[in-house]
Chains A and B, each alone.
Chain A
Amino acid sequence: MRRRRRLAFASLVLALCVAVALEIGIGPVYIPFWHIPADTIAYASGHRSLDAIVVGAIRWPRLLVALLVGAALAVAGCVLQAIFKNPMSDPGVIGVSSGGALGAVLTIAFGWSSRWLWVTPAGSFICGLAVVVLIYRLATFGRRTNLYALLLAGVAVGSLCSAIITAILDMSPLQTMEQMMFWLFGGLDGSNWRETCILTIVDGIVLPVFMALAWALDIMVTGEEHAEGVGVAVQRVKQIALGLCALIVGVSVSTTGVISFVGLIVPHVLRYLVGPRHRHLIPACALGGATLLALSDLVARTVVAPVELNVGIVTSCLGAPFFLFLLFQHGRNWQRR
């Protein structure tokens, strides 16, 4: 297992490097990867050649946003799967994605987004968190959160949100509808350094906290009662984990829109490769999610160029068949590794 884990981490780092080189290099302006450092330094020191601007102002922020959002979604999925003991969990289950999408669509429908640029991300973030708090309240009885109730409340509130979104879409003129679709399927175009900074700060705070909770998450996987028996502060771990998942997913959704499947498949695939312990699984998910989203974005930008697909469509189109393939290969002993 240890050798396999080392091999897995080595390949993840390698894949990440390849993804970085490709995502920066490929596009309407082709940049050979050995030019990347030089162009980056040129942009940083104020030179404004075409290559420097493409690398520094467009490709790097886009790449970094993809990496940070991919890492956040995959790690959030991994943590939620542990908390819920449910392999179907992804950041969608706590309602933060659907709430976020609803918030974004509402601000666009009311026409606020054309007046101030920050309104849509802010609305998306606030609605996402509001939905999480609502679901959490619905499922907490006394001082105890019932995870089944939370899961079911999440599904119910999620479908309510999508119904409202669909209703708004039906009533919207074509032009605003396009803007809304960007949020519903997720996209990375227009990523800038401000978003990169916010995501870096949030990921930089949240991921270390999850690492500190790694052992408690391991124990939660064996069951809530077991966790209580060995001294895990179960309710506190649940609150921290749910709150921080809502935060990183909320910030991610508010920058890129809803990107599905990353949070679901990455933890599953990596659990198979690096084992069930969260001290390995969390960093692996961060690497894997980042790589997957960067590569998906590359595909989204290039496959039917010059048209750009939404990256969420690519993650689903690539993710679902790959996941089904793995399930088919290992389905019999998926649970017992």
Chain B
Amino acid sequence: MVGVRLDAAAYRPVLQPMSIALELGQVVGVIGPNGAGKSTLLRLMAGLIAPTSGQVLVAELPIASQSPRWRAQHIAYLPQLIGDDIPFTVREFVEMGRYSRESAWAQGASRREAVMAAVAQMGLERLLDVPLAQISGGERQRAGIARCLAQASPVFLLDEPIANLDVFYQLDILSRLRGLAADGRLIVLAIHHLEFAMRFCDACIVLDHGAVVAFGPRDEVFQTELVQRVFHIGVRRFADPFTGDPRLSVMGCLPVKDGEEREES
């Protein structure tokens, strides 16, 4: 079943028209250099910005014209930054995921159950009543994903969920996301780490200057030539001698041609 469908959707001047259908039950990585439009694409899919032309369809309805509540019931969007100054406890933060499903003053068992299940699935029971400001970055990211679980939407859009995390939490978060996709969800995440993208994503969308330059299963997408062209780095691909996973050997930066300046965002 299709989770999100882009129908010649564009957001000018950042994103060129693109037509993509993303099936439920998989992890899709959005990769590309800084300023390629990854965050904008996620916000477009979440319906937080309306396409300037074309359509973004969720459950066969154009999402940009739906109510915020409907959008949140169908798509859970988690921004890149979960502030380290948030005064709420993990429980209160995860509860916020229920905003689109319950009224503020209902003290029903359904809310408590949804929150406890989400917290348990992310292994945060121990930190339930600790303020977000006092836990580590990796635990905060887990709390963010638990909030998406409490939201009970079939599609998760995560903006760079492993940026700024140590290697343990990068692997921890990505393997938890794989597990969530195995339950039938569509997980779309912006990611900078190419080797982890190859290892954990079923499919990838490669963005460059606001256009999709490749979309498909990871083995089709991670072609040496494509990576070199998009990221301006010299790479060789090889199989990891211990795990057998595809790996990239990074040789160095390639000279940037005139008129093709890398834009920093």
- Please classify how large the interface on chain A is, using the bins under 10, 10 to 19, 20 to 34, 35 or more: 20 to 34
Enumerate chain B residues within 8 angstroms of A275, measured Cβ to Cβ. 87
Once bound together, how far apart are the Cα atoms of A168 and B72, in whole Å?
52
CB distance from B24 to the nearest CB of A (A): 19
Q: Is the CB of B85 within 8 A of A230?
A: no
Knowing A336-B131, A336-B133, the reply to whether A228 touches B48 (Cβ < 8 A) is: yes
Enumerate chain A residues within 8 angstroms of B72, measured Cβ to Cβ. 229-231
Return the contact of B46 from the options A219, A229, A234, A336 (Cβ within 8 A): A229
- Please classify how large the interface on chain B is, using the bins under 10, 10 to 19, 20 to 34, 35 or more: 20 to 34
Q: Is the CB of B134 within 8 A of A223?
A: no
Return the contact of A231 from the options B73, B88, B133, B134 (Cβ within 8 A): B73
Q: Is B226 an interface residue (CB 8 A)?
A: no
Enumerate chain B residues within 8 angstroms of A232, measured Cβ to Cβ. 68, 99
Residue of A219, A222, A271, A337 with most partner-chain B CB within 10 A? A222
Once bound together, how far apart are the Cα atoms of A252 and B93, in whole Å?
35
Q: Is the CB of A218 within 8 A of B88?
A: yes
Q: Is the CB of A222 within 8 A of B86?
A: yes
Please name the residue on chain B nearest to A223 by beta carbon: B83
Quick one: CB contact mask for A267-278 with B, threshold 8 Å, 1 for yes?
Answer: 000010001110
Quick one: CB contact mask for A22-55 with B, threshold 8 Å, 1 for yes?
Answer: 0000000000000000000000000000000000
Enumerate chain A residues within 8 angstroms of B100, measured Cβ to Cβ. 230-231
Binds A, one of B74-82, B173-181, B200-208: B74-82
Enumerate chain A residues within 8 angstroms of B81, measured Cβ to Cβ. 223
Please name the residue on chain A nearest to B100 by beta carbon: A231
Q: Is A226 an interface residue (CB 8 A)?
A: yes
Enumerate chain B residues within 8 angstroms of A118, measured Cβ to Cβ. none
CB distance from B69 to the nearest CB of A (A): 5
Q: Is A214 an interface residue (CB 8 A)?
A: yes
Quick one: CB contact mask for A65-88 with B, threshold 8 Å, 1 for yes?
Answer: 000000000000000000000000
Of the A-B pairs whose beta carbons lie under 8 Å apart in the complex, a sample of 26, sorted by A's number, is: A212-B104, A216-B99, A218-B92, A221-B88, A225-B48, A225-B77, A225-B79, A226-B78, A226-B79, A228-B68, A229-B72, A229-B76, A230-B96, A230-B147, A231-B68, A231-B69, A231-B72, A231-B73, A231-B100, A233-B68, A234-B68, A335-B85, A335-B87, A336-B87, A336-B131, A337-B133
A residues at B contact (CB < 8 Å):
212, 214-216, 218-219, 221-223, 225-226, 228-234, 271, 275-277, 279, 335-337
